[in-house]
Amino acid sequence: MPNPDHHVETTDATVHHDWDADREPILTVEPGEVVRFECHDATRGELAPGATVEDVRERHSPGHALTGPVAVEGVEPGDGLAVDLLSVETGDWGVTYAYPEERGAGFLPGEAPEGAIHHWELDGDVATFEPGIEVPLAPFPGNLGLAPADPGPHSTTPPRAVGGNLDVRHLVAGSRLELPVEVSGGLFSIGDGHAAQGDGEVCVTAIECPTTVDVRFERVADPPAAPRFETPGGDDWREGPAVATTGIGPDAETAAREALSAMLDRLEARGLDRVRAYLLCSVAADLQFSQVVNDPNLTVTCRLPTRVFVA
């Protein structure tokens, strides 16, 4: 990549843990300029290599660590802002963790009653989970968006019309995300880097990691009402051979829980510890709608590519 027009490092002045329309921009750029964002992982390094499951149990998040905000000159409420992700690079480490059951976090919190943590080395195109299981990397920012107009501060956890914690694994390098602008300049922030994630992020974390992201901004005259995006083409390892389970129920949540639980059963029968199977599914398995028209039940599939099994 050519050198960016601006480079924003992670400092106390550039990192924040909430969305707030009253926060002063750390930088104002012209449309078309490229900004390189250095980003912490979501925990701002609290669960870096060496952290234990006890650190997970004791952690109380102040919100995702986000870098920004950056204002774009000439962008006003009623406009749209296009965010071109030119490159997404990970640091050399990542972490996946599940909070203990009493925190009620994750899709099946009872599967990790004491909490769990797994550290990853990110030094190539794949990361090893344990002997015989590896996960191809497809890095993307999990949390990126604009400040909402409503007076803040606002939590970084729920996504909104202006973006935020979307956790869309398809937003890799080469993607374009378009967002509606609610405040002058847009006030764009980014963080929560993921080296890999399954659709659903079921244990509440992906491979959480530091990232460096190059972003180019463009004003959009026809703004979307909610985030919309375009993704690059190319081969996707997730579309190859897979093992799958299904859940059938009267609503999406019930069906999805059944599908995920069945996948954990399947991995446990294969010899994988059930708690670790829960972590693996959060970074490599996809929860997908199979049908939503056969009343009174929906079908949700939990799909795990066999690519992860290398032995």
Domains, the chain: 6-230 (2.60.120.580), 237-308 (3.10.28.20)
Q: How many CA atoms lie within 13 A of 175 on its CB side?
A: 20
* Chain centre distance of CA 131: 26
Greater confidence (61 vs 236) lies with 61
The mean per-residue pLDDT over the stretch 64-68 comes to 98
Rounded (5°) CA angle 212-216-217: 130
The pLDDT, as a whole number, for residue 292 is 82
In Å, how far are 69, 98, 258, 300 from 295, measured between CA atoms?
45, 34, 18, 14
The mean per-residue pLDDT over the stretch 64-77 comes to 98
Residue 181 CB contacts under 8 Å (≥ 6 apart), including other chains: 75, 76, 77, 78, 79, 80, 81, 146, 162, 223
Confidence bin at 291 (pLDDT 50/70/90): confident
Confidence bin at 238 (pLDDT 50/70/90): confident
CA separation for the pair 288, 300 (Å, rounded) = 6
CA separation for the pair 300, 165 (Å, rounded) = 23
